[in-house]
Structures are given as C-alpha cells and as structure tokens.
Amino acid sequence: MTRCFAFAPLLCVLAQPVFAHDAADHCADVKASVAEAGFADKVTVTCEGERALVTSNT
C-alpha cells in the first residue's frame, strides 16, 4: 500500500515496484545470488507468485 501526501505526489508515482523481467526469472536470479554469496546451504529460496521468499532456520 502506497500513501500519497499532498506535498510529494511525484514520489508516489516513483515508489511503485518495477521488475525488469518476469517472476520466474526474478526468482531464478535471487536463487543464483544466494548461491553466489555462499548461502545456498544455509537458506532456502521459494517462489510465490511474483515474490522470492528467502528463509533460514537460525
């Protein structure tokens, strides 16, 4: 939910999320980033719709 205030209407337009690729590519990119960072054995990345969820049991 985005809140717009009278003094910053332009910020409300710019605050919307923008994806450079589709949800499947986004999730694959997040999984690859986690693996490249060396955390693949410590976290799990799952995909739900347009979101990549990163979870860990710490």
CB 43 within 8 A of CB 52: no
What pLDDT, on a 0 to 100 scale, did the predictor assign at position 53?
A: 92
Q: Check pLDDT > 70 for residue 4.
A: no
pLDDT tens for residues 6-46?
545 544 554 555 555 677 788 889 999 999 999 999 999 99
Whole-number pLDDT of residue 34: 94
pLDDT given at position 36: 96
The residue among 53, 56, 58, 51 whose CA lies nearest residue 22 is 51
Please give the pLDDT value at position 32. Answer: 93
Domain ranges of the chain: 20-56
